[in-house]
Structure 1
């Protein structure tokens, strides 16, 4: 057995151990300080980040009874694909009534134009009658003027002169009656022209009003089929066959997983060096470190999450405890990487942002030039309604018109 250490030797060994520990701590501190100076201080990271995307609710524009469901949870749907069908019977009846009313209105307006032409002919006829009776009155006036000097000499009998005078008075009455008839015909023509001047049969207010009702009824029939406004996956289906739904009731949700981003919630103390356009690396918990996504800061939130909460904090109360606030930062992902490794809305992410590039802005200061999202599926519905309206108008005008011809048809007189 070895001899026990003396007190001096024990103190020496202890000092040597403490020195080695202090040296290791110092080296570790220097190493961490060097790493932080060279690399760590150029990055801001957080694990409070989640995948986000557009969550499109499918809601009916008209009420009705569900007769068919064309997609279920987890299904992939294309733009324009029928998702839900409502019973269109009532809408079709309303459409037929509106189409019949439009046809009748077109024929009634055609009658207005025809009446205007008839009244113009009546005015011409009355004016011709006026001219005739005026000529007769002028002839009789000449007869009276010639007979008046001859009455004193007895060349013309008194009875003959009185007869000529009576005929002149009757002629003048006929002139007055003809003038009144002309005035009445002109007033009737003016009244008729107030309903037809400055417009055509197709553009007449009555026809346009009836056409609007046809469009409204036609759209109601079209809207009995709910279509997908964009490509995506169905989630949260809550509608059942036979269910009576009201306009605006949520039936299901579509999530376009090809258009995702990440909302990273950074502490307020980390926002100082974050700028729009800075590069970021992201790791999803679902894949781990095997897959690294690359993104770019697209924008910084206008307020903290607590400021927009359903029940915002009341920091003016006496029981106040300071809590570090977080601000959402939107990070746009590379679409190619998302296509190769699919993500889901709500998945957790770890984000590391390279803050060395300070050329960007902390807040966006230019308006968006293009819409965030758009769909063309509803444009075809209105176009089809317009074609139906023009078809009915053309059929009841008594001539065949194309859509373009109907829009630029000549005035029907």
Structure 2
């Protein structure tokens, strides 16, 4: 073997390796290309079937009613019966005011109502007496007329003196005048009671209204909770002198809550009323999911209703993406299992697959919120007034 053989074999090996390298590179590039194509296809399918069917935002917070508890009459606080974080029921007494002055006015109104009933009863009896007087005057008139009629034939026969007949004529006229006066008195007596029973007489109704107002004012010294919920922001203290309208505390019902989700204006294109939504609250994490539905979209962006609205008609202007609040009602069953508090942060996702629903809410068909606590107070006042009227009616008037 010559000395040049090893060098020749080495050159052949280098040439084979160089020939194989382009093939490996092509295969590697093809694999990389296929990976990117697969990733792109996966991303497209994910967007098509997932991301394009929903809109999400983490600018979403729990909202609810905040019922301000305030005084309706002036007074001094003598008792506080509920404190922050405590649950209260509708109609429960929260604060009591000193009722001394109100009790005095209530007794005065009660006495005035009783006196009005008795006065109307007296007027009714007076009218009955006036009717009896009219009947008596009619009898007197008929008697005078009969006497005159019986004596007139005697004048023709000159059996009666003319003076006697004149006296009889005067007696008829006097009887007629007395009857007219009795009728006028009877009409006057009936004017104040005619057409109504004692309980419906205008004077009694006015006294009844005054009593009702005094009774309600006395009851308002006890400040009630109009709805069930939890007490927050208690500011009232014992001995405070409060005025009507002064806020004393807040009651927050933790039922019928909603989410105010502030979506970007570019996300509102397919959001419609009635679309289902899923909510995850930061307080519980992704392990707890709430269900809800869109019930309305705000009438304007947040900047429009701010204290100092943006002035965009200026020389220096920078476009800022606006957000519109979308209200989403939460299923109460989910709230029963995992209670929320107003103001908590959430991440809200709306399913926009069905975008054929309305964008603007229709007119409300039922009250947003209502309470019958004050109606019950008014009905109790009427019951007390009826009792006073019955107690001051005679057995004949009561029937």
Alpha-carbon shift at residue 311 of structure 1 (Å):
3.0
Find 1:301's aligned residue among 298, 301, 311: 298
Q: Determine the structure 2 residue equivalent to 1:232.
A: 229
Q: How does 1:11-410 map to 2 (within 5 A)?
A: 28-147=39-158, 164-365=161-362, 367-399=363-395, 410=399
CA deviations over 1:207-240 (Å, ceiling 9, x no partner): 0000011111111111111111222110000100
Distance 2:244 2:184 in 1: 51
Distance 2:278 2:338 in 1: 15
Distance 2:307 2:157 in 1: 107
Alpha-carbon shift at residue 27 of structure 1 (Å):
5.7
Unaligned runs of 5+ in 2: 1-17
CA deviations over 1:337-369 (Å, ceiling 9, x no partner): 22222211001111111110224221222x333
TM-score relative to the length of structure 1: 0.85
Distance 1:100 1:312 in 2: 59
Alpha-carbon shift at residue 83 of structure 1 (Å):
0.6
CA deviations over 1:253-286 (Å, ceiling 9, x no partner): 0111122110101111111101112111111122
- The SS at the match of 1:192 is helix
TM-score relative to the length of structure 2: 0.88
Distance 1:131 1:111 in 2: 30
Unaligned runs of 5+ in 1: 1-7, 148-155, 401-405
Distance 2:252 2:92 in 1: 15
Alpha-carbon shift at residue 23 of structure 1 (Å):
7.8
- The SS at the match of 1:387 is helix
Distance 2:313 2:66 in 1: 36
Distance 1:287 1:333 in 2: 15
Distance 2:32 2:77 in 1: 76
Distance 2:134 2:308 in 1: 78
Alpha-carbon shift at residue 18 of structure 1 (Å):
10
Distance 2:314 2:74 in 1: 47
Distance 1:378 1:51 in 2: 29
Alpha-carbon shift at residue 78 of structure 1 (Å):
1.6
CA deviations over 1:55-95 (Å, ceiling 9, x no partner): 11111221111100001111111222211001111111111
Distance 2:303 2:186 in 1: 73
Alpha-carbon shift at residue 310 of structure 1 (Å):
2.9
Distance 1:199 1:309 in 2: 59
Alpha-carbon shift at residue 398 of structure 1 (Å):
2.5
Contact kept? 2:279, 2:289, Cα under 8 Å: yes
Alpha-carbon shift at residue 30 of structure 1 (Å):
4.4
Distance 1:177 1:112 in 2: 27
- The SS at the match of 1:382 is helix
Contact kept? 2:256, 2:329, Cα under 8 Å: no
- The SS at the match of 1:383 is helix
Distance 1:351 1:82 in 2: 38
Alpha-carbon shift at residue 370 of structure 1 (Å):
2.4
Distance 1:189 1:317 in 2: 84
- The SS at the match of 1:380 is helix
Distance 1:98 1:302 in 2: 50
Distance 1:105 1:319 in 2: 76
Moved over 6 A (4+): 15-26
Distance 2:252 2:316 in 1: 42
Alpha-carbon shift at residue 46 of structure 1 (Å):
0.8
- The SS at the match of 2:286 is helix
